[in-house]
Amino acid sequence: MDEKKLKEIKKMLANNSKILAIPIDFEDLIKKGLIKKVGKSYYTDNIHTLPKEIIKKIKSFSNGRYGIKLTFYQETKSIKKNCKRF
């Protein structure tokens, strides 16, 4: 693998780690009408209206009773540590 390709991979990893390390502001997304909270779950009508940073944090999604049910990755200490490392 050449040096340029390796540098691109490191940059991509650093950017993704940074995105995953930042907590999601659920209250702001709810106020903007992009997601809704029903019980302990979050739903949206259209995934494509969500910001790119939020889309990258989606762990899984499925059709639910109130729209598309979203499950997100949680911020962890190891993700924050990797973010600082890169």
Q: Which residues pair with 63 in a beta bridge?
A: 68
The predicted pLDDT at position 69 comes to 96
pTM: 0.74
- What is the strand order of the sheet 41-44 is part of? 36-38, 41-44, 67-72, 58-64
For the chain, the structural domain boundaries read 3-85
Q: DSSP letter string over 39-81?
A: TTEEEES-GGGS-HHHHHTEEEEEEETTEEEEEEPPP-HHHHH
The predicted pLDDT at position 77 comes to 65
In angstroms, the CA 59 to CA 43 distance is 13
Instruction: Report residue 17's pLDDT band, with 50, 70 and 90 as the boundaries.
Output: confident
* 19-68 residue pLDDT tens: 777 888 999 999 999 999 999 999 999 999 999 989 989 999 999 899 99
The predicted pLDDT at position 21 comes to 77
